[in-house]
Chain A
């Protein structure tokens, strides 16, 4: 998991602003994932990407967007359409091709006021 980085660790924004969270990995993993964590809610999947230039919606994609232009990068944009954006956001990656283990980045705590 040391090969996955997220920045920044804490992020503060005003309501109505879009914000982009960074996720980078140097593990040469094909698949990358974005999760949202709220107290008592576990981890909920926002978007995932199995390969470069392709991504799919997860369970709570509304108000979020992603891109996967490079294998090592999977940025998440939290748009102003997201009704309750304050949360802890976790990025993960896995090797793919039958290797299912997901490794997480350190997370970004986003606070929108």
Chain B
């Protein structure tokens, strides 16, 4: 079935530290795994994605790693800043180009 789980539900970090969010997915997932950031009352914004033919992708302070054997992928945010405070959603692509989303992680960056 289509199932994506995110851990932990809430993550508090000191400004400047790193934040890591991990997601696991079920067997039938496809080859595309995006991460979205959603600020309060706003739309989700795609921040980074990865396809299964690579194990890691970086974009400035954010990176995503993928372990297809263990069926998990993680978002890494380095040198966190107050504007990184938001809810982050992972997702996995399934049949008919459908995305299944995790329930989200609240990240709080403490100044």
A residues bordering B, Cβ < 8 Å? 1, 31, 33, 35, 40-45, 48, 50, 56, 58, 90, 94, 96, 100-107
Contact = CB atoms under 8 A, between A and B. Distances in A.
Q: Is the interface of B mostly helix, strand, loop or mixed?
A: strand
B66 interface: no
Classify the secondary structure of A's interface with B. strand
Contact of B46 (A31, A33, A50, A101): A101
B22 to A, nearest CB: 15
B89 interface: yes
A101 B34 contact: yes
Interface of B: 32, 34, 42-46, 49, 89, 93, 96-104
Nearest to A45: B98
A105 B43 contact: yes
Given A40-B103, A41-B103, A104 B97 contact: no
